[in-house]
Structure 1
Amino acid sequence: MTETYSEHLKQYALSIQQYQVLRSLRDLNGESTDLLTLSAQMVSKNSNTTRLVEKLRLKKLITRIQNEDNRRKVDINITEKGLNLLAEIDAIQNQFEEEVVNNLSESEIKTLNTLLKKIRSK
């Protein structure tokens, strides 16, 4: 399933990890965050958040600005271009997810349901 999702995001020139960073930033509703906070929110903990953020900055999807109060800290924000890209992805995301779910076997659906129940119980 990860491969399918990765292929889906390729059309937007994004990796799954880059997409996660953008969504995390969007969820902050305009508030800044730092690398440490973004790293903690990553599903894939072995992601190099510094590298991901720099790639997104080069694409002009986010900004990195040195914090005025703490020069060792960098404030990270999503740009209008990043928000627009996420809106474009959101427009077809539900359709993509339905296609993925429709391609699951009965045993995969049962496994998924078991895992979801386990997650919800914690």
Structure 2
Amino acid sequence: MRIEDEIDGHFRNEYHKGMINLIYTTNEIHFEFLSYLRKHSLTSQQYNVLRLLRGYGGIPRSIDFLRNRMLDKKSDMSRIIDRLYAQQLVDRVENNSDRRQKEISITQKGKDLLDKMDDCEKHSDSLLKNLTEEEAKELNRLLDKIRDKNETH
């Protein structure tokens, strides 16, 4: 459905329409993804941390390492880790060389939860199911171009 019909809106120009369309579509997809994660009592940031830890082979990582790889760079990483730790999904160990730093690793319980959620990857792919693979490539190219602050227009 066209954005004009979705929100019954009018736009100053195609750039304005594109911005509203991008925000609206992102919010809609994110809401659907979050509702799936809630079934497993996780936030998107917690899920992201668990996937990062599993993806790096279970090797303990620092909070800064994880923060730099988060999708949401403004996440309160300490709070996210505290909640995952309380659920016994991650372990925290003081770094021997810098006691202020903590090394974070995924627990077996965390791995088991992600294994149960493997269909989450398929579900997230399905959120763009009405695009062909070529259209998805073009979407990725355009989104990368939008974020490229150095590109001249």
Provide, for residues 54-73 of structure 1, a one-character-per-residue CA deviation record: whole Å limited to 9, x for no partner.
Answer: 10000000011111222121
Is residue 2:31 matched to residue 1:3? yes
| Higher RCO by CA contacts (8 Å cutoff, separation 6 or greater) | 1
Report the structure number with the largest CA radius of gyration.
2
Provide, for residues 24-67 of structure 1, a one-character-per-residue CA deviation record: whole Å limited to 9, x for no partner.
Answer: 10112121111111110011111111110110000000011111
1:115 CA displacement: 3.1
Letter in 2 for 1:79: T
Provide, for residues 63-90 of structure 1, a one-character-per-residue CA deviation record: whole Å limited to 9, x for no partner.
Answer: 1111122212111000000001111111
**Take 1:16 and 1:92, find their aligned partners in 2: how far apart are those partners?**
11
Kindly report structure 1 stretches of 4+ aligned residues shifted beyond 6 Å: none
Gap runs ≥5 in structure 2: 1-28, 149-153
Provide, for residues 72-111 of structure 1, a one-character-per-residue CA deviation record: whole Å limited to 9, x for no partner.
Answer: 21110000000011111114531x2354223x589xx95x
Between the two proteins, the alignment pairs up a number of residues equal to 116
Is residue 2:125 matched to residue 1:101? no
Counterpart position of 1:86: 114
Letter in 2 for 1:84: D
**Take 2:98 and 2:124, find their aligned partners in 1: how far apart are those partners?**
41
**Take 2:106 and 2:86, find their aligned partners in 1: how far apart are those partners?**
12
**Take 2:120 and 2:32, find their aligned partners in 1: how far apart are those partners?**
14
Two-structure CA RMSD over aligned residues (Å)? 2.4
Gap runs ≥5 in structure 1: none
| 48, 68, 77: which one aligns with 1:49 | 77
